[in-house]
């Protein structure tokens, strides 16, 4: 099993190209089940991207991947309507084939999803929304058995009791081919959902309210071929912003957009990090020291839960104390004991953690427990004295493209040690 070795204490400087957004491309690729062919550019070469490609290929979609160019072309009708456990268990986003299969083919059999072990993430909102569109849903043997009514899914008004990114994506994918008009109320507003809606419109979908919490969809009979460029990954951008700040460095994040960071930008600025938009991206510098800031994770435009672990690593060397409250997922503080091994002072109970900044961290062997925890330990290693070994980095490969190469190119002493 691969490991990553870091010798900390180096100031990062230079430019980092921000890859296409993982959380966008995993919703965009299933759109190929609705019509097409669909060509996506700026696609990151990640383990999760490969898993989604394998799942779509299993359905009968022809997947042509050019990893060097960052291009994926998807074409062909589905030959299989089943998404098997062996693939779906690897990645929660696999459930996003449910809406397209049901909308276009009238039925689907999809395994209940897996992914990072960061708490329960039920799909009940996905299923209730599809039932509102007329689908019959049964749960049997760990599978979702879904069938559309005669004549296909019907448009419906769906009010989400709580904001759900995955449910918004799945139901948007279903609604574009449903008969009549659908309205998604209290829909998630993440940039990745806006990106999905723009791609669907390029394919011929009729969607209004993009970027708001209320999406109006007029169903169409079919979708056509399209080419779409995946937006830059805001979580990767936020991660490298923390890398610049934690090392006292300066980085240009090529392709990053300030507006996509939401509250992350405000919190970083309050902590003493400079953010300036430029023609090529976002320039990040540490100003006059880091300061403790309280944060609470929320849906966009609030502070992203996927930035919580990285920000905690940053706060571990800030002046003063910060309280970090996790409201999206339970069990998402598994990185805390590993940061404490490196000298961080953190007390946590339930959904809140108090981080009291220390003058320095010390290198240590640590173990990654999930995707964002993995990169938080790398950030801590960049700032620590001595050597840090991050074990179980297969989590990292699910969401960060060539992270060690990108960091090494801007001055980090980092390398991957093959297992």
pTM of the model: 0.94
Q: What is the pLDDT of residues 359-372, one digit of tens each?
A: 999 999 999 988 88
324 touches 353 (CB < 8 A): yes
**Statement: residue 118 has pLDDT above 50:** no
pLDDT of residue 1: 83
- Confirm or deny that 345 is annotated as ligand binding: no
How many angstroms separate the first and last alpha carbons of the chain? 4
122 is in an annotated binding site: yes
Instruction: Report the residue count for the chain.
Output: 419
Task: Let me know the angle formed at the C-alpha of 211 by 268 and 303, rounded to the nearest 5 degrees.
Answer: 25
Q: Share the mean pLDDT of the chain.
A: 94
Average pLDDT over residues 319-347: 92
Percent of the chain with pLDDT over 90: 86
416 known member of a binding site: no
Residue 122 pLDDT: 73
Residues designated catalytic? 116
- Asked if residue 195 belongs to a known ligand binding site, the reply is no
pLDDT of 114 reads 54
Work out whether strand 413-417 and strand 3-7 pair parallel, antiparallel, or are unpaired: antiparallel
Q: Which residues, including other chains, have CB under 8 Å from residue 140's CB and lie 6 or more apart?
A: none
Q: Which of 315, 368, 245 is nearest to 377 (CA)?
A: 368
Q: Is residue 73 predicted with pLDDT exceeding 80?
A: yes
- Is the pLDDT reported for residue 357 higher than 70? yes
328 labelled binding-site residue: yes
Residue that has been written with the tokens 């599809």 in this structure: 130
Candidates 295, 278, 277, 276; CA nearest to 286 is 276
Question: Any known ligand binding at 23?
Answer: yes
Residue 119 has pLDDT above 70, yes or no: no
Query: Is 42 marked within a binding site?
Result: no
SS (H, E, C) the chain: CCEEEEECCCCCEEEEECCECHHHHHHHHHHHHHECCEEEECCCCCHHHHHHHHHHHHHCCEEEEECCCCEEEEECCCCCCEECHHHHCCCHHHHHHHHHHHHHHCEEEEECCCCCCCCCCCCHHHHHHHHHCCCEEEEECCEEEEECCCCCCECCEEECCCCCHHHHHHHHHHHCCCECEEEEECCCCCHHHHHHHHHHHHCCCEEECCCCCEEEEECCCCECCEEEECCECHHHHHHHHHHHHHCCCEEEEECCCHHHHCHHHHHHHHCCEEEEEECCEEEEEECCCCECCCEEECCCCCECHHHHHHHHHHHCCCECEEEEECCCCCCCCCCHHHHHHCCCEEEEECCEEEEECCCCCECCEEECCCHHHHHHHHHHHHHCECEEEEECCCCHHHCCCCHHHHHHHCCCEEEEECC
pLDDT digits (tens, 9 = 90+) for 4-28: 999 999 999 999 999 999 999 999 9
Average pLDDT over residues 257-285: 97
Task: Tell whether 22 is in a known binding site.
Answer: yes
């Amino acid at each position: 099993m691969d490991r990553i070795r870091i010798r900390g204490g180096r100031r990062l400087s230079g430019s980092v190209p921000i890859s296409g957004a993982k959380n966008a491309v995993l919703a965009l690729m299933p759109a190929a089940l609705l019509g097409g062919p669909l060509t996506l550019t700026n696609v990151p070469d990640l383990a999760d991207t490969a898993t989604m490609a394998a799942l779509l290929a299993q359905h009968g979609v022809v997947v042509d991947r050019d990893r060097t160019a960052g291009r994926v072309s998807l074409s062909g009708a589905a030959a299989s309507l089943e998404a098997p456990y062996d693939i779906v268990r690897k990645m929660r986003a696999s459930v996003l084939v449910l809406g397209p299969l049901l909308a276009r083919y009238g039925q689907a059999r999809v395994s209940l999803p897996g992914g990072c072990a960061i708490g329960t993430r039920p799909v009940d909102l996905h299923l209730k929304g599809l039932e509102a569109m007329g689908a019959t849903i049964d749960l049997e043997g760990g599978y979702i058995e879904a069938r559309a009514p005669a004549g296909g899914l019907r448009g419906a008004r769906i009010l989400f009791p709580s904001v759900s990114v995955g449910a918004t994506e799945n139901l948007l994918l279903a609604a574009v081919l449903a008969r009549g008009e659908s309205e998604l109320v209290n829909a998630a507003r993440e940039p990745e959902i806006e990106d999905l809606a723009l791609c669907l419109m390029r394919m011929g979908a009729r969607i209004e309210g993009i970027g708001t919490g209320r999406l109006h969809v007029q169903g169409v009979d079919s979708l056509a071929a399209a080419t779409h460029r995946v937006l830059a990954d805001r979580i990767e951008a936020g991660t490298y912003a923390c890398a610049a700040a934690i090392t006292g460095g300066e980085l240009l994040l090529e392709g990053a957009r300030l507006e996509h960071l939401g509250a992350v930008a405000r919190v970083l600025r309050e902590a003493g990090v400079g953010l300036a938009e430029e023609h090529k991206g976002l320039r990040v510098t540490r100003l006059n020291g880091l300061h403790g800031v309280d944060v609470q994770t929320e849906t966009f435009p609030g502070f992203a839960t996927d930035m919580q672990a990285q920000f905690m690593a940053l706060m571990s060397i800030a002046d003063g104390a910060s309280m970090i409250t996790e409201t999206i997922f339970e069990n998402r503080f598994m990185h805390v004991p590993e940061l404490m091994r490196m000298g961080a002072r953190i007390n946590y109970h339930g959904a809140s953690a108090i981080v009291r900044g220390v003058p320095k961290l010390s290198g240590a062997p640590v173990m990654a427990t999930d995707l964002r925890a993995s990169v938080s330990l790398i950030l801590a290693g960049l700032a620590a004295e001595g050597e840090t070994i991050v074990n179980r980095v297969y989590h990292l490969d699910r969401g960060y493209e060539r992270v060690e190469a990108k960091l090494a190119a801007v001055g980090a002493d980092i390398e991957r040690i093959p297992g």
